[in-house]
């Protein structure tokens, strides 16, 4: 359980094109995801980084796109500058007429050594992704 990936699946009353744009267009991502993403491209090899200040600590997010299949899937390596570990986030889209099912998988969280870095505990990611995907993104695309 502790090393299992987080998997969150949600259905959206929005076409796959709209959901894909929301998760890959930097200007749209700033409206529901992280408001300080300096740049983002759905292209393998693209790297971006930005700081998030949370609970009195800085977390330099470093993302490297590893896979991008338009309207289907985007994956990126997710790590933090100054912290150990490396994880992977994947957004997979399944169109169903005018609706879309999004499956988010975040794996490798145990590599962040949450026992010595409590800010990166699994429960924090579960709560974060549940809110981001289930509320912020849902409200944005619908």
Tokens read off for 96: 């169903």
The number of CA neighbours under 13 Å toward the Cβ of 33 is 20
Q: Which one-letter DSSP state was computed for residue 4?
A: S
Residues 66 and 88: beta-carbon distance below 8 Å? yes
pTM: 0.95
Looking at residue 83, the DSSP 8-state letter turns out to be S
113: left (phi over 0), alpha (psi -120 to 50) or beta: left
- Helices (DSSP H) in 16-121: which residue ranges? 16-24, 26-32
Match 């299949």 to its residue by tokens.
69
Give dist(CA 46, CA 39) in Å, integer: 10
pLDDT tens for the chain, residues 1 to 142: 678 999 999 999 999 999 999 999 999 999 999 999 999 999 999 999 999 988 888 999 999 999 999 999 999 999 999 999 999 999 999 999 999 999 999 999 999 998 888 889 999 999 999 999 999 999 999 9
Q: Domain coordinates of the chain in residue numbers?
A: 6-141
Sign of the Cα torsion 5, 26, 24, 134 reads positive
Q: Determine contact, residues 76/47, Cβ cutoff 8 Å.
A: no
pLDDT for the residue 107: 97
For the 6-141 domain, the top CATH level (class) is: alpha beta
């Amino acid at each position: 359980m502790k090393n299992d990936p987080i998997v969150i699946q949600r259905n959206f009353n929005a076409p796959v094109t709209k959901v894909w744009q929301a998760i890959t267009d930097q200007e749209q991502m700033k409206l529901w995801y992280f408001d300080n993403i300096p740049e983002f491209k759905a292209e393998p090899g693209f790297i971006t980084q930005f700081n998030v200040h949370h609970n009195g600590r800085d977390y330099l997010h470093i993302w490297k796109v590893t896979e991008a299949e338009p309207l289907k899937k985007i994956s990126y390596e997710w790590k933090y500058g100054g912290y150990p570990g490396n994880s992977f986030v994947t957004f997979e889209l399944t169109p169903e007429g005018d609706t879309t099912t999004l499956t988010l998988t975040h794996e490798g969280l145990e590599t962040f050594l949450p026992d010595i870095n409590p800010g990166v505990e699994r429960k924090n990611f579960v709560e974060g992704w549940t809110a981001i995907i289930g509320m912020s993104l849902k409200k944005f695309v619908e």
